[in-house]
Amino acid sequence: MSWYDIFPLVSTSFILISGILVAIGWRLIIKGKREAHEKVMVGAAIAASCFFIIYVSRTIFIGNTMFNGPESLKTVYLVFLLFHIVLATVAAAFGITTLTLAYRKKFAKHRKWGKITAKIWFATVITGVTVYVLLYLCYPGGHTKPVIDAIFG
């Protein structure tokens, strides 16, 4: 297994772990277990941060992978990828806001934001894993290029 294969697998694993931890954290707060909720959600934020660091590092040093599937699916894939990127950006902004509200002990607002943030995050995780599956499992072997070339190439 090369770095080309390891970076995407590890980063996708971190995003999946983050989503699972958000689900566990949500369940814990419903059960009234605040301390456990806080620890799990911090873990989710750390896992998401690890994903981001690995993703950015890979983008800078290796590049991003072009879609290697059938030409008939390329437009559908690119629209899906764009949706995922927008969703991930919104989720990150909401996540930072939600964490900040908790840190400042503004729990009423944190609760409202958290419900929305978690749902957006779940969609981000699902679309992110789908992108990984399409690029590295269903249609492996796409060329690696800088992100602008990969999207508009």
Q: Do 50 and 14 touch, CB atoms closer than 8 A?
A: yes
Please tell me the CATH code under which domain 3-152 is placed. 1.20.120.80
End-to-end CA distance of the chain: 27
Q: Do 151 and 55 touch, CB atoms closer than 8 A?
A: no
pTM metric for this prediction? 0.88
Reduce the DSSP state of residue 64 to 3 states and report it. Answer: strand
pLDDT of 63 strictly over 70: yes
Q: Tokens for 45?
A: 């934020």
Residue spans of the domains in the chain: they are 3-152
- pLDDT tens-digit map of 80-125: 999 999 999 999 999 999 999 999 999 999 999 999 999 999 999 9
The per-residue pLDDT for 39 is: 98
Q: Do 75 and 39 touch, CB atoms closer than 8 A?
A: no
